[in-house]
Amino acid sequence: MARQQKSDATEPSPTAIDGLGEGRHLRPGSKPAPGLYLVATPIGNMGDITYRAVEVLRAADLVACEDTRVSGKLMTRLGLDRPLSSYHEHNSERAGPELIKRLKDGAVIALISDAGTPLVSDPGYRLVKACVAEGIMVTALPGASAMLTALQLSALPNDRFLFAGFLPNKSTARRKALREVATVPATLMFYESPNRLGESLADMAAVLGPRQAAVARELTKLHEEVARGDLFTLANRYADAPPKGEVVVVVAPPGEALPLGEEDLDDRLRAAIAGGASVKDAAALVAAETGFPRRDIYARALRLSQAAPDSTP
């Protein structure tokens, strides 16, 4: 009898990996604890769904998703049949309180996005914030993420990075947003529409200069592609040839001091000012790109501005 008890105690969990411990595992027919489950779904390859994600989706009372048509196809491919409820940017104020009410009544709700990890560029954080305020249990099931996958494949520094989501649609607003992050000492990451990719890369080149970058698309799918090069080269590549599929743009952080001559510095300053930057912002951008002291670059930009009456310091 003692030997039998010892055997049961040391039997490995189906979800355990040697040396990595165990997570919460649902036994057949069991029910998860009531609460909100943030479930990552595949970004392309269906093989990237996790065992735990399938278990929770199978046991959920409700699956909240961005688009019920997209998520319905996912559930069908997984052989699952659970109620779906739409929760997205345009209905979150109405749908959120309804989900909170069901959660407070003891429901198990899984929140998923159309693809990847929920709460990345979607309104799910509002629901999480409301759950926390109400004392409702929230947990996350990690999985696929286009952002992190692109960072891994970019061959750019990944010790520090800033995910900036989607840039504005219009060039003026886009360049303003880029100037706000231009001096951040980290790799920059953006989601972008394939139809705007060429214009967006051109604005990045004008504001950020010839930094190294990577354009990752169709990640984990059959036609996965990662194009690498400086921003000017990538902007030319996609200027008249918008790609297909979801796109992530990864841009290197500001570099070390470069062996540039005075004419090169002046050209960069003129380009920044022509792109709409003030003298102060242009100097900050070029200083960040080249590693030269900001004070010296500002003095140079000021001289250029005084020689061009239309420029504003």
Q: How much is the pLDDT for 3?
A: 41
Q: Which of 269, 247, 147 lies closest to 198 in space, CA to CA? A: 247
* Whole-number average pLDDT of the chain: 86
Taking only the tens place, the pLDDT of each residue in 86-110 is: 999 899 899 999 999 999 999 999 9
Q: Is the pLDDT of residue 250 over 50?
A: yes
> Can you tell me the distance from the alpha carbon of 50 to that of 187, in angstroms, rounded to the nearest whole number?
29
pLDDT score at 273: 82
Q: Where are the beta strands (DSSP E) in the chain?
A: 35-39, 62-65, 84-86, 108-111, 138-141, 161-166, 187-192, 212-217, 225-230, 247-251
pLDDT at 29: 60
CB 286 within 8 A of CB 268: yes
**What is residue 59's predicted lDDT score, i.e. its pLDDT?**
96
pLDDT band for 312, please (50, 70, 90 cuts). very low
Report the candidate in 255, 252, 258, 306 with the shortest Cα–Cα distance to residue 279.
Answer: 306
Tens of pLDDT, residue by residue over 14-55, are: 444 444 445 555 555 678 999 999 999 999 999 999 999 999
Q: Across-strand partners of 163?
A: 189
Within 10 angstroms of residue 181's Cβ, the number of other Cβ atoms is 16
Q: What's the pLDDT band for 7 if we cut at 50, 70, 90?
A: very low
Buried b (16+ CB within 10 A) or exposed e, 222-250: eeeebebebbbebbebbeeeebeebbbbb
